[in-house]
Structure 1
Amino acid sequence: MMVVSTGRVVGSWRAAWLRVEGSWAWYRRYWKSNLYSSGLQPLLFLVAMGLGFGSQVKAGPATGGLPYLEYIAPALLVSASMQSAVSESTYPVLSGFKWQKDYLAVTATPVTPGQLLGGHFLWVSLRLLLSGVVYALIALAFGAWLNAGAILVVLAAVLTGVACAAPVTAFAATTYDEGTRFNGLFRFGVIPMTLFAGTFFPIEQIPLALRWLAWISPLWHGNQLARGVTLGGVSPLAMLGHLGVLVALFAVGVFFARKYFYRRLVI
């Protein structure tokens, strides 16, 4: 088939969306291999912790007087989004540079590294939004939501995910080996955040000398934001603070990711 050039260069948004379309074409063929990590994992945690272990946890001050299922449901979604976003921004990004080299192919066209990066973040956001909506609907059947704030919980989860994805994407863009650096990221970053950033229990249960580790964690800010919009108990000023931290982290991550994408892709 002969391809005839139109002589027009697509705009920035269209160029980024072309990358999303490419990712979607791949995802439609291999979505089953991602089903566990993007959809089933948080739901299994919800059943195991919220209904199983949670049946032994009495509502009290630690849970804000709420059943444990309702307490952890928002945080489990945020935590799953963080994990999915980090996974999507490590080996897939490195593969674009090193193994499949599709980043090099894309930027050989009029699409710039910045537009390619924008497409990456758009795709991550859509993945998180899709899995978040599925989680929210199924959690509704378990009675995990108190009110319509669950809709905002999904948005808080997406924001937390992309806030974590941005600096990790920058980190991946500076990786030239086989990705062994990512092992440390998951072992000393993702797992401790999941366990000790207020997902399963309030950080007040952590010794004060170590509590600052939770305070600097983006997941804790996401958990607080998600619980605040559906469970309450978080002041408006604190909510703005949590939101500001996540937005700032995303902005800084995008700045460095864009810098390293151009450094690596522009010859």
Structure 2
Amino acid sequence: MAATTTPVRPHEGRLAGRAFAYWMANYRRVWRGTIISGFLGPLFFLVAMGFGLGALVDDGGLGGTGYVEFIAPGLLAAQAMQTAVGESTFPVMGALKWHRQYHAMLATPLGIADLVLGHVAFVTMRVAITSVAFAVVAVALGAIASWWVLAAVFAAVLTGLAFTTPVFAFAARQDNDSGFNVLFRFIVMPMFLFSGTFFPVSQLPALLEAIARVTPLWHGVELCRGLVLETATVAGSLGHAGYLLLWAAGGLWLAFASFRKRLVT
């Protein structure tokens, strides 16, 4: 698909709220379809793995923490990742290739920064909604008991943002869904399983443990778990948050570049 010639917009980025408003208006028509993937899926994992399998798992290696209490904050971070990736793949490619909402936005005073920031803000809002909903249910089920869950929700949103912007950059360069199949099967799913959500990464072989520790999900899981279990330190929390912010900022820079290459000549 050929890019369109678009003039440089002065003060680009100040109209991002208008792009956000479009995605919100669209979401009001389709929000019911997001309940299962964004909320019930992680909830089923919590019930099945935490209360089901957890009844058969001792607390060896968990420092005396019950298994359901161990995985609940991990799932909080993991569902933030899954929501962010899901909202940043096909919706972005669709807005470029099929429905062409981005092209329509560029026909208005909005610029590249406006449409990227507006859409990223919408995805962040989606991550926040699913994170709050999951946290409320986890507290109701007794899987989370600390008031620090409020801070953990913000940590989960930051985790989602660390995935949103790089996946935006990736999705903007795709012409079909083959790249997404690779992303989900060989990156997202392995991270979900092996980044500390269900067991400490210290139980992995040394090479896999080193790989797990550089993933943004591991940092998100550790940050959420440390806050919820009240074992976090200030230095450790700032380190995890800073690492996630680096991913988000680097991904945003790449997203701007990818969108300009795709939409502007």
TM-score by length of 2: 0.92
Aligned to 1:170: 169
Q: Provide the rounded CA distance (Å) in 2 between the counterparts of 1:136 and 1:232.
A: 16
1:159 aligned counterpart, secondary structure: helix
Q: Provide the rounded CA distance (Å) in 2 between the counterparts of 1:157 and 1:202.
A: 18
Aligned to 2:234: 236
Matches within 5 A, 1:105-184: 105-175=104-174, 177-184=175-182
Q: CA deviation at 1:263?
A: 2.1
Q: Provide the rounded CA distance (Å) in 1 between the counterparts of 2:165 and 2:242.
A: 15
Aligned residues: 257
Aligned to 1:90: 89
The residue type equivalent to 2:31 in the other structure is: W
Q: Provide the rounded CA distance (Å) in 1 between the counterparts of 2:208 and 2:73.
A: 24
Of 212, 215, 235, the match for 2:213: 215
Aligned to 1:5: none
Q: Is the CA contact 1:81–1:160 (under 8 Å) kept in the aligned structure 2? A: yes
Correspondence 1:20 to 2:20: yes
Aligned to 2:6: none
The residue type equivalent to 1:92 in the other structure is: P
Q: CA deviation at 1:82?
A: 0.2
Q: CA deviation at 1:89?
A: 0.8
Q: CA deviation at 1:179?
A: 2.1
Long gaps (5+) in structure 1? 1-8
Q: Is the CA contact 1:89–1:168 (under 8 Å) kept in the aligned structure 2? A: yes
Q: Is the CA contact 1:156–1:226 (under 8 Å) kept in the aligned structure 2? A: yes
Q: Is the CA contact 1:82–1:219 (under 8 Å) kept in the aligned structure 2? A: yes
Aligned to 2:51: 51
Q: CA deviation at 1:10?
A: 11
Q: Provide the rounded CA distance (Å) in 1 between the counterparts of 2:159 and 2:20.
A: 20
Q: Is the CA contact 2:90–2:171 (under 8 Å) kept in the aligned structure 1? A: yes
Aligned to 2:188: 190
1:253 aligned counterpart, secondary structure: helix
Q: CA deviation at 1:181?
A: 0.8
Q: CA deviation at 1:14?
A: 6.0
Q: CA deviation at 1:158?
A: 0.6
Q: Provide the rounded CA distance (Å) in 2 between the counterparts of 1:209 and 1:140.
A: 35
Q: Provide the rounded CA distance (Å) in 1 between the counterparts of 2:112 and 2:177.
A: 21
Q: Provide the rounded CA distance (Å) in 1 between the counterparts of 2:152 and 2:12.
A: 30
The residue type equivalent to 1:199 in the other structure is: T
Q: CA deviation at 1:262?
A: 1.8
Q: Provide the rounded CA distance (Å) in 2 between the counterparts of 1:92 and 1:227.
A: 30
Q: Is the CA contact 1:70–1:144 (under 8 Å) kept in the aligned structure 2? A: yes
Over the matched positions of the two proteins, sequence identity in percent amounts to 44
Q: Is the CA contact 1:114–1:262 (under 8 Å) kept in the aligned structure 2? A: no
Q: Provide the rounded CA distance (Å) in 1 between the counterparts of 2:214 and 2:158.
A: 16
- Point out which structure has higher relative CO (alpha carbons under 8 A, 6+ apart): 2
1:254 aligned counterpart, secondary structure: helix
Aligned to 2:245: 247
Q: Provide the rounded CA distance (Å) in 1 between the counterparts of 2:108 and 2:37.
A: 33
RMSD: 1.7
The residue type equivalent to 1:239 in the other structure is: S
Correspondence 1:42 to 2:56: no
The residue type equivalent to 2:19 in the other structure is: R
Describe the superposition over 1:90-128 as per-residue Cα deviations: whole angstroms up to 9, x where unpaired.
Answer: 111111111111100001100001011000111011111
TM-score by length of 1: 0.92
Q: Provide the rounded CA distance (Å) in 2 between the counterparts of 1:244 and 1:185.
A: 24
Long gaps (5+) in structure 2? 1-8
Of 247, 254, 261, the match for 1:256: 254
Q: Provide the rounded CA distance (Å) in 1 between the counterparts of 2:127 and 2:251.
A: 18
Deviates more, 1:198-207 or 1:128-137: 128-137
